[in-house]
Homo-oligomer: A and B are copies of this chain.
Amino acid sequence: MKISQRVLNTQFSPIRKLVPYAERAKKEGKKVYLLNIGQPDIETPKAFFEGIKKYSSKVIYYSHSAGLLELREAFSDYYKLWDIDFDPQELIVTTGGSEAAIFALASVADPGDEVMVIEPFYANYKGFAEMLNVKLCPVKADPETGYAVPSIEEFEKAYNESVKAIIFSNPSNPTGAVYSYDEVKRIVDFAKEKDIFVISDEVYKEFTFDGTKHVSVMNFEDKDRFILIDSVSKRYSACGARIGVFATKNKKLLEQVMKFAQSRLSPPLLAQFGVLGLLRDLGKDYYQGIALEYQKRRDAAYEEIRKIEGAVCKKPHGSFYLSVKLPIDDSEEFIKWMLTDFDVNGETVMVSPLSGFYATPGAGKQEIRIAYVLNSEELRKASNILKEAVTVYNEKKIKVK
């Protein structure tokens, strides 16, 4: 009786694996600022709950495997707001962005094939790839450049013949980088030259600050090459709805992916009605309001973080994460220590170690990810505690030596 190698090889979530330490700290009476997980505190708009109330059938039935047609029509209309052109027939409603990513990876790569990824990347790509026996082929973005898209030379160096696609998130989770037109073009041109698919995770497209604009891969030509991954989780603070989208104009690919969609029958029904409510009710002003709120939070966190001596952190312009390279030896040890042996007046902080967001072994050991999902005042407090922690941690290290 043997457990599969693929699950043994799968990494524990870097976002969730230190949770037991945080729970213990809480039990001991500490207040823990949770900046590890992308669970916003902002209220889910009422339109979600109103949408669900409109459900009038007495049976909770399977929806179409591609999702309710009315919902796909609403998504199609919503994308038009962002100059992204998708017919309802080009969309499959998925169980969160997670399932969209699984469908994408499984439909472009066989076991042993590779998918290129700009690292650090959304850590769960690794979990999905491991479940599907797809190897990630990383090309590294640097904290010194604000985690900008690497140069074409670096792409060439990282590439090999087993690579069938490239996946990335823009705005980036975990770095907060928002890619410029030229950066997205660099990815698209590279994919075209190598004749591989582009999987563009645009879950955070509304979360751009300081006047920067999100550039969708769908603004480029050669559209058959593109798969768009979307999710309502962050945009509407509706993570538990588990509604995402797999979108492509590639008819043959879509027809094939529908087989996966049919196998799992349908996405959750009531949440689809909730999201229908959201899409029909909210306009651009809602997204702008949310972006402004997160910009304020980014400011609060960034202003304190940048004061940490020796830290490398360029101002990020999107999503609601920032990654920072700290003057420490091992961020996982550091985070555990903050939870077990450190506090400022009974308060401490939980963040994510960035090593789990890299495919290159040993990379990212000095970096952490901060999800700024608390209000500005709390974020400022939490960031100050983090700053203090770095100092105390390093003093302690010197003493031990």
In this complex, how many residues of chain A approach chain B with their Cβ under 8 Å: the count is: 76
Inter-chain CA distance A13–B62, complex, in Å, is 15
Contacting residues, chain B, for A5 (C-beta < 8 A): 110
A263: contacting residue among B37, B124, B239, CB under 8 A: B124
A198 closest partner in B (C-beta): B1
Structural contact, B260 and A131, CB atoms closer than 8 A = yes
Task: Decide yes or no whether A12 CB sits under 8 A from chain B.
Answer: yes
Contact check, A58 vs B39: say whether CB atoms are below 8 A apart. no
Compute how far the CA of A124 lies from the CA of B4 in the bound complex, rounded to whole angstroms. Answer: 21
Identify A270's interface contact among B42, B127, B240, CB under 8 A.
B240
Contact of A3 with B270 at beta-carbon distance under 8 Å, contacts A60-B241, A96-B264, A240-B61 already known? no
| Bitwise interface map of A from 261 to 299 toward B, beta carbon under 8 Å scored 1, else 0 | 011111111110010000000000000000000000000
Answer yes or no: A330 CB below 8 A from chain B CBs. Answer: no
Neighbouring B residues of A13 by C-beta, 8 Å: 65, 259, 262-263
Residue A152 lies at the interface, judged by CB distance under 8 Å to chain B: no
A3 touches B61 (CB 8 A): no
Q: Which residues of B contact A6 (CB under 8 A)?
A: 106, 110-111
Is there a chain B Cβ closer than 8 Å to A16's Cβ?
A: yes
Residues of B close to A65: CB separation below 8 A? 13, 16
The CA of A291 and the CA of B241, in the complex, are separated in Å by 32
Q: Does A141 contact B (CB under 8 A)?
A: no
Instruction: Find out whether the CB atom of B60 lies under 8 angstroms from the CB atom of A39.
Output: no
15 contacts between A and B (CB under 8 A): A4-B109, A4-B164, A6-B110, A12-B262, A40-B59, A41-B59, A44-B60, A95-B95, A98-B263, A98-B264, A110-B133, A124-B264, A239-B266, A242-B268, A271-B271
By a beta-carbon cutoff of 8 Å, the part of chain A in contact with chain B is 1-8, 10-13, 16, 37, 39-44, 48, 52, 58-63, 65, 95-96, 98-99, 102, 106-111, 113, 124, 127-128, 131-133, 164, 195-197, 224-225, 237-242, 252-253, 256-257, 259-260, 262-271, 274
Extra contacts besides A7-B107, A39-B62, A60-B239 (16): CB < 8 Å: A1-B195, A1-B225, A3-B107, A4-B164, A7-B106, A8-B256, A12-B262, A13-B262, A37-B62, A63-B240, A95-B95, A124-B265, A133-B133, A240-B269, A241-B268, A270-B274
